[in-house]
C-alpha cells in the first residue's frame, strides 16, 4: 500500500485517448487501439512514422505544437472510426446515393481519407468558431454601451471560458459520452499504475487516481487561456476596432497560441514543484467533467492497450 501512496516513479510520454468502447494508447514507437467488441477485445497496432522525422524543422519549439496537434487529431479520428465499427447500432441504414457514388468514384481507401480529412477540418472549425470567434463577436456588442477596450477584453475572456465549460458540462451529461469519459478514467488510472512501476493488473489500476496532471484534454483549456493572454497583448499594442478584422488576426495568431500551449504543457508535465503543481490545477479541476470512474472491463481494455505500446528499450518513453 505504501508503494501506491508515493509519487510517480517516473513520467512517461505514453498518452491515450478514450474511444467508443475502447482506448487508443500512443507510445514513442507505436500506437495501439483496443476496442471491446461483441466477441471480445479487438486490437489494431501500427508503427509510428512522425512527419517531424522526415522534416526536422517541424520538430522545432513553437512549430511542433501545431504539427503534433494536427497529427493527433488525424490519428484520433481514425481510431474513433475504427472503434465505431464495433459499436452496436439499432438499425443498419442503407448507404445513400451520394455515399454509393463516392465509394464508386474514390474507392474505400480514398473514401476513408476523405472522411477523416473532412472530420478533422470540421472539428477544428467547430472548436475555433465556438470557443474563440463566437466569444469575440459577442464581446464586440459591448461597444454599443462603452468604448472601453479593457471591458471588451474582459467580456471576451469570460465568454470564452463560460462557453467552453458549459459545453463540457452539457456533453458530460450524455449517457454515451459518460461511457467514453469512463474509458478516459481507465486510461489515466492505467498510466498512473505504469508510472508507479506497479504490475499492470485491474486491482492495481483500480487504486490509482482518475485525474492525471498531463491529461491531453486539458490542452484545450490552456489554449483558451493562452489565446486570451496573447490576444490581449497584441491588441493592446496594435488596437483593432473592426470585429471581423480582430477575428482574422486571432486566426493568424492561432499557430503561435498552440505552439506556446504545447511548450507550456511540456514544461509543466516534466517538472514537479509548487509552481508547476499550481499551474496544473485548472486542468485537473476540469477533469471533473471529462473523467469518470471506469469499471473493470474498461480497465482491462486500457491495460491491454498500454502493454502494446511500452517500448522494448527501458526508459525510452521517459518524459
pLDDT in tens, 97-106: 555 555 565 5
Chain centroid to Cα 64, Å, comes to 16
pLDDT digits (tens, 9 = 90+) for 238-281: 989 899 999 999 999 999 999 999 999 888 877 778 888 888 88
| 15 within a domain of the structure (yes/no) | yes
203 within domain boundaries = yes
> Higher-confidence residue: 88 or 126?
126
* pLDDT in the model for residue 175: 86
pLDDT band at 209 (very low <50, low <70, confident <90, very high): very high
Instruction: Residue 204: name the closest of 293, 284, 291, 296 by CA.
Output: 296
Total structural domains within the chain: 1
Q: Residues 29-38: pLDDT tens digits?
A: 999 999 998 8
The pLDDT of 21-34, averaged and rounded, is 95
Residue 68 belongs to some domain of the structure: yes
With beta carbons less than 8 A apart as the criterion, state whether 77 and 24 touch: no
Averaged pLDDT score across all residues of the chain: 86
Model pLDDT for residues 67-77, shown as the tens digit of each residue: 988 888 889 88
Q: Which residue reads 497496432 in cell numbers?
A: 45
Cα gap 268→246, rounded to integer Å: 30
Q: Transcribe 145-192 into DSSP letters.
A: T---HHHHHHHHHHHHHHHHHHHHHHHHTSHHHHHHHHHHHHHHHHHH
Could you tell me if residue 207 is inside a domain? yes
Q: Is the pLDDT of residue 91 over 50?
A: no
The answer to whether residues 27 and 15 touch, using CB atoms and an 8 Å cutoff, is: no
25 inside domain: yes
Domain that holds residue 28: 2-87+96-307
Distance CA 313, CA 295 (A): 31
**What is the distance between the alpha carbons of residues 205 and 59, in angstroms, rounded to a whole number?**
34
Give the distance, in angstroms, between the CA of residue 238 and the centroid of all CA atoms in the same chain. 32
Q: What are 153's three cell numbers?
A: 477584453
Whether residue 88 is predicted with pLDDT greater than 90 in this model: the reply is no
What the block records as the C-alpha cell of 68 is 503534433
Residue 213, pLDDT score: 83
In a domain? residue 262: yes
Which tens digits make up the pLDDT trace of 214-233? Answer: 887 778 888 999 999 999 99
In this prediction, residue 1 carries a pLDDT of: 35
Tell me, yes or no, whether 317 lies in a domain.
no
Does some domain include residue 312?
no
Mean pLDDT computed over 163-169: 92
Assess whether pLDDT exceeds 80 at residue 208.
Answer: yes
Which residue has better confidence, 105 or 169? Answer: 169
CB of 302 within 8 A of CB of 183?
yes
Per-residue b or e along 154-170, where b marks 16 or more CB atoms closer than 10 Å to that residue's CB = ebbbebbbebbeeebee
Confidence of residue 195 (pLDDT cuts 50, 70, 90): very high
What's the whole-number mean pLDDT along residues 160-171? 92
Q: For residue 246, give the C-alpha cell.
A: 480582430
Amino acid at each position: 500500500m505504501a508503494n501506491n501512496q508515493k509519487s510517480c516513479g517516473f513520467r512517461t510520454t505514453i498518452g491515450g485517448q478514450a474511444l467508443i468502447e475502447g482506448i487508443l494508447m500512443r507510445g514513442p514507437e507505436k500506437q495501439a487501439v483496443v476496442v471491446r467488441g461483441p466477441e471480445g477485445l479487438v486490437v489494431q497496432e501500427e508503427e509510428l512514422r512522425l512527419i517531424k522525422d522526415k522534416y526536422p524543422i517541424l520538430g522545432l519549439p513553437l512549430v511542433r505544437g501545431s504539427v503534433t496537434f494536427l497529427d493527433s487529431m488525424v490519428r484520433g479520428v481514425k481510431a474513433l472510426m475504427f472503434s465505431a465499427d464495433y459499436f452496436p447500432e439499432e438499425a443498419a441504414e442503407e448507404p445513400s446515393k451520394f455515399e454509393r457514388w463516392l465509394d464508386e468514384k474514390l474507392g474505400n481507401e480514398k473514401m476513408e481519407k476523405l472522411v477523416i480529412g473532412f472530420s478533422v477540418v470540421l472539428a477544428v472549425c467547430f472548436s475555433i468558431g465556438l470557443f474563440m470567434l463566437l466569444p469575440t463577436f459577442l464581446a464586440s456588442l459591448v461597444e454599443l454601451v462603452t468604448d472601453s477596450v479593457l471591458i471588451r477584453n474582459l467580456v471576451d475572456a469570460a465568454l470564452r471560458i463560460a462557453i467552453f465549460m458549459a459545453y463540457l458540462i452539457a456533453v458530460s451529461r450524455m449517457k454515451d459520452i459518460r461511457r467514453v469519459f469512463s474509458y478516459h478514467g481507465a486510461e489515466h488510472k492505467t498510466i498512473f499504475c505504469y508510472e508507479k512501476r506497479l504490475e499492470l493488473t485491474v486491482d492495481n489500476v483500480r487504486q490509482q487516481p482518475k485525474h492525471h496532471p498531463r491529461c491531453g484534454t486539458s490542452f484545450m483549456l490552456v489554449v483558451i487561456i493562452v489565446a486570451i493572454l496573447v490576444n490581449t497583448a497584441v491588441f493592446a499594442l496594435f488596437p483593432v476596432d473592426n470585429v471581423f478584422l480582430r477575428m482574422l488576426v486571432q486566426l493568424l495568431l492561432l499557430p503561435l497560441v498552440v505552439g506556446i500551449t504545447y511548450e507550456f504543457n511540456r514544461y509543466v508535465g516534466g517538472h514537479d514543484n509548487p509552481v508547476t503543481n499550481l499551474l496544473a490545477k485548472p486542468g485537473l479541476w476540469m477533469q471533473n467533467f471529462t473523467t469518470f470512474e471506469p469499471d473493470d472491463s474498461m480497465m482491462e481494455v486500457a491495460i491491454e492497450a498500454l502493454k502494446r505500446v511500452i517500448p522494448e528499450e527501458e526508459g525510452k518513453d521517459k518524459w
